[in-house]
C-alpha cells in the first residue's frame, strides 16, 4: 500500500494556499452559483440543534480550546479522536447560525467555536491515515466555512485554506474510484464558499467524466470504478465495493446532480442516466428489498456500527430531483424504504465483474459470493477492520425474509461456519495478512435473464 504523504508536504501546499487566499477577494456573483450555494447551506442547516449537547460543549471547553476526554496525542490510523473535536466545531457552527434557538448569534457560542478553531489551527493535526487529512478533516471544515461564512475573520479563512488545500483534484487520494468523487465534492463546496466559478466548473466537469464505465476511461491497466455489470471496484484487486466506496460514489454525485440540475452547471443527461442505472440495477440489487445491505456484498465495513442498517430515502429523492429518468422505480424504492409500500421487487442478477449473484423475490432475498483467478476474495483489513473476514467471500450464501436477520450477529458468529461455505475447520483463523486471497480457478460464474438464473 502506498505510504502516507510526508507531514511536511501536508503542511505547506504553498501554491494552493496562495491561490485560495487570493480567492477571498470579492467576486462578481454568478446567480446560478449563488443558488447552488444557498441550497448546500440550507441542507447543512436542516437538522435540529441538540440543546443539551451544545450547552455541554460550551461549558466544558478548556482555556486552550480543547475538550477534556479527547486524546489529542494519538494521531494513529486507528486512533485520531480529533474527529470528535471536528464534529463539535460543526455542531457549534450549526447552533450559532440556527435561527429561533438560544444559541443563534450568541456571543458565548461564538467564542467557544473561535477557541476551538484556533486550537486546531495552532496544532494542525495530521493523522497517519491519509483519509482524514484529505477527506475527513476538510469535509468538516468546508461545512464550518459555508455555515459561518461572513462571521469568520480573514485570519480564520487563511487557516482553513491550509487545510482545504489538501483536498483538491490533485490530491493523492483523488484517484479513480470512490474517493475521487468524494474529494471533488469537498473541493466543489470550497469553490462555493470562495464563490469561485472556475473551481465549480472544474469539479462539475470532473464528476461528469467519472460517471462512466471504467473501461471507457482509456486506461487499460487501471479499470477501477464503475464496471459494465453495474458493480463497483475501488482497487485493482477487483473486490466488490458497490456497497462501500460505490455507495459514496452514487450519493455524492446524486447530491450534486440535485443541486445543479436547473442551472448552467447541470450534468449531461447521459451521466445522470447512467448513475440512475447504477443505483437501481447495481446498488439496490445488492440490498434486501432495495433497503437492507446484503452481508454477502460487504467487506471490512462490517466492523462499523450500523453496517447492516436499512438505507434511507435521501439518494433516490435527489435523483428524482435531478432527472425524470426511471422515476417510477426510484419512487418505489422511496416508498418501500419509508414503509408505505410492501416490497414487490423481482430480479435475479449475476454481476460477472464481481462474481456476486443476487436473487430478489417479493418475500425473500438470497445471494452468493465467490472469487476466481480474476478477482480476489475480500478487501484487505485496512485500519484493522474486518479482521475475521477470511472466508466471507468463499461461496457465502445468505438468505433473508425480513432483511435484519444478520444484524449485530458478528460478535457471536462462527467465522468458519459462514452459510454456504465449505471450509476446513481450524483451531483459529489465519493471520490478517492472509484474509485476501487470489483465486485458483477460472470456473466461477453464473447465468441469468434478469428474472431467473
Of 378, 370, 366, residue with least CA distance to 446: 370
Look at residue 327 and give its three-state secondary structure. helix
Q: Is the pLDDT of residue 20 over 90?
A: no
| Burial class of residue 126 (count of CB atoms within 10 Å of its CB; 0-12, 13-18, 19+) | buried
Any domain includes 9: yes
Any domain includes 282: no
- In this structure, what C-alpha cell is assigned to residue 105? 448569534
Q: What's the pLDDT score for residue 1?
A: 38
Lowest mean pLDDT among 9-23, 70-84, 180-194, 208-222: 9-23
Q: What's the pLDDT score for residue 284?
A: 98
- CA–CA–CA angle 349, 350, 353 (5° rounding): 135
Q: Is the pLDDT of residue 24 over 90?
A: no
In total, how many domains does the chain have? 1
- In this structure, what C-alpha cell is assigned to residue 16? 494552493
Top-confidence residue, 273 or 383 = 273
Q: What's the pLDDT score for residue 28?
A: 56
- Nearest-angstrom CA–CA distance, 310 and 332: 15
- Nearest-angstrom CA–CA distance, 140 and 70: 17
Buried b / exposed e over 8-38, threshold 16 CB at 10 Å, is eebeebeebbebbbebeeeeeebebbeebbe
Determine what percent of the chain falls in helix, strand and coil, rounding each to the nearest 5: 45, 10, 45
Q: What is the pLDDT of residues 86-134, one digit of tens each?
A: 999 999 999 999 999 999 999 999 999 999 999 999 999 999 999 999 9
Longest dimension (CA), the chain: 69
Q: How far is CA 236 from the centre of its chain?
A: 19
- Nearest-angstrom CA–CA distance, 316 and 330: 6
Mean pLDDT value across residues 289-318: 96
Q: Domain span at residue 18? A: 1-168
Mean pLDDT value across residues 174-187: 89
Q: How far is CA 110 from the centre of its chain?
A: 30
Any domain includes 219: no
Any domain includes 211: no
Any domain includes 26: yes
Q: What is the pLDDT of residues 349-389, one digit of tens each?
A: 999 999 999 999 999 999 999 999 999 999 999 989 999 99
Q: What's the pLDDT score for residue 323?
A: 97
Mean pLDDT value across residues 244-257: 95
Mean pLDDT value across residues 196-213: 94
- Report in angstroms the alpha-carbon separations of 426 from 32, 370, 395: 62, 21, 18
Q: Is the pLDDT of residue 11 over 70?
A: no
Q: What is the pLDDT of residues 402-433, one digit of tens each?
A: 999 999 999 999 999 999 999 999 999 999 99
Look at residue 80 and give its three-state secondary structure. coil
- In this structure, what C-alpha cell is assigned to residue 133? 487529512
Q: What's the pLDDT score for residue 27?
A: 53
Mean pLDDT value across residues 56-81: 97
Q: What is the pLDDT of residues 44-61, one digit of tens each?
A: 999 999 999 999 999 999
Any domain includes 4: yes
Mean pLDDT value across residues 305-316: 96
- Nearest-angstrom CA–CA distance, 343 and 335: 9
CATH code for position 23: 1.50.10.100
- Cell 483489513: give the residue: 381
Q: Is the pLDDT of residue 440 over 60?
A: yes
Residues in the chain: 453
- Nearest-angstrom CA–CA distance, 95 and 90: 9
Of 209, 214, 343, 227, residue with least CA distance to 277: 227
> Could you tell me what percent of the chain has a pLDDT over 90?
88
Angle between helix axes 178-194 and 137-148 (nearest 10 degrees) is 20
Mean pLDDT value across residues 334-340: 98
Any domain includes 354: no
Any domain includes 27: yes
Give the DSSP letter of residue 339. Answer: T
Q: What's the pLDDT score for residue 37?
A: 98
- Nearest-angstrom CA–CA distance, 399 and 254: 30
Q: How far is CA 343 from the centre of its chain?
A: 27
Q: What is the pLDDT of residues 131-149, one digit of tens each?
A: 999 999 999 999 999 999 9
Q: Is the pLDDT of residue 16 over 60?
A: no
Q: What's the pLDDT score for residue 9?
A: 45
> Could you tell me what percent of the chain has a pLDDT over 70?
94
Other C-beta atoms lying within 10 Å of the C-beta of residue 133: 24
Helix H or strand E encompassing 260 = helix 245-260
Amino acid at each position: 500500500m502506498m505510504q502516507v504523504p510526508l507531514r511536511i508536504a501536508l503542511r505547506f501546499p504553498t501554491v494552493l494556499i496562495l491561490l485560495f487566499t487570493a480567492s477571498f477577494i470579492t467576486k462578481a456573483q454568478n446567480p446560478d452559483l449563488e443558488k447552488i450555494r444557498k441550497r448546500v447551506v440550507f441542507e447543512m442547516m436542516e437538522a435540529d440543534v441538540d440543546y443539551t449537547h451544545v450547552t455541554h460543549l460550551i461549558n466544558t471547553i478548556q482555556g486552550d480550546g480543547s475538550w477534556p476526554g479527547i486524546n489529542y496525542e494519538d494521531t494513529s490510523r486507528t486512533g485520531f479522536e480529533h474527529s470528535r473535536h471536528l464534529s463539535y466545531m460543526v455542531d457549534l457552527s450549526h447552533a450559532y447560525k440556527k435561527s429561533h434557538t438560544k444559541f443563534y448569534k450568541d456571543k458565548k457560542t461564538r467564542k467557544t467555536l473561535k477557541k476551538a478553531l484556533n486550537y486546531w489551527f495552532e496544532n494542525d493535526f495530521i493523522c497517519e491515515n491519509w483519509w482524514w487529512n484529505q477527506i475527513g478533516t476538510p469535509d468538516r471544515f468546508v461545512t464550518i466555512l459555508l455555515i459561518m461564512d461572513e462571521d469568520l475573520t480573514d485570519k480564520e479563512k487563511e487557516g482553513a485554506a491550509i487545510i482545504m488545500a489538501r483536498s483538491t483534484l490533485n490530491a493523492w487520494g483523488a484517484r479513480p474510484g470512490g474517493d475521487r468523487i468524494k474529494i471533488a465534492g469537498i473541493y466543489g463546496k470550497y469553490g462555493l464558499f470562495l464563490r469561485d466559478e472556475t473551481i465549480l466548473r472544474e469539479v462539475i466537469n470532473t464528476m461528469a467524466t467519472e460517471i462512466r464505465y471504467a473501461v471507457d476511461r482509456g486506461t487499460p491497466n487501471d479499470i477501477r470504478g464503475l464496471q459494465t455489470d453495474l458493480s463497483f471496484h475501488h482497487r485493482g484487486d477487483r473486490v466488490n465495493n458497490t456497497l462501500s466506496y460505490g455507495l459514496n460514489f452514487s450519493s455524492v454525485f446524486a447530491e450534486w446532480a440535485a443541486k445543479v440540475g436547473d442551472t448552467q452547471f447541470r450534468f449531461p443527461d447521459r451521466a445522470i442516466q447512467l448513475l440512475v442505472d447504477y443505483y437501481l440495477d447495481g446498488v439496490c440489487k445488492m440490498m434486501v428489498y432495495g433497503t437492507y445491505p446484503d452481508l454477502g456484498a460487504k467487506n471490512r465495513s462490517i466492523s462499523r456500527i450500523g453496517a447492516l442498517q436499512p438505507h434511507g430515502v435521501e439518494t433516490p429523492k435527489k435523483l428524482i430531483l435531478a432527472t425524470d429518468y426511471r422515476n417510477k422505480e426510484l419512487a418505489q424504492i422511496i416508498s418501500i424504504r419509508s414503509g408505505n409500500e410492501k416490497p414487490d421487487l423481482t430480479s435475479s442478477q449475476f454481476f460477472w465483474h464481481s462474481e456476486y449473484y443476487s436473487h430478489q423475490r417479493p418475500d425473500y432475498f438470497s445471494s452468493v459470493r465467490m472469487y476466481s483467478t480474476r478477482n480476489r476474495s475480500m478487501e484487505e483489513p485496512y485500519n484493522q477492520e474486518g479482521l475475521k473476514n477470511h472466508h466471507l467471500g468463499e461461496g457465502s450464501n445468505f438468505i433473508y425474509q425480513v432483511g435484519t436477520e444478520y444484524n449485530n450477529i458478528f460478535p457471536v458468529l462462527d467465522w468458519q461456519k459462514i452459510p454456504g461455505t465449505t471450509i476446513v475447520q481450524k483451531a483459529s483463523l489465519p493471520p490478517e495478512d492472509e484474509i485476501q486471497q487470489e483465486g485458483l480457478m477460472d470456473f466461477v460464474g453464473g447465468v441469468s435473464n434478469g428474472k431467473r438464473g
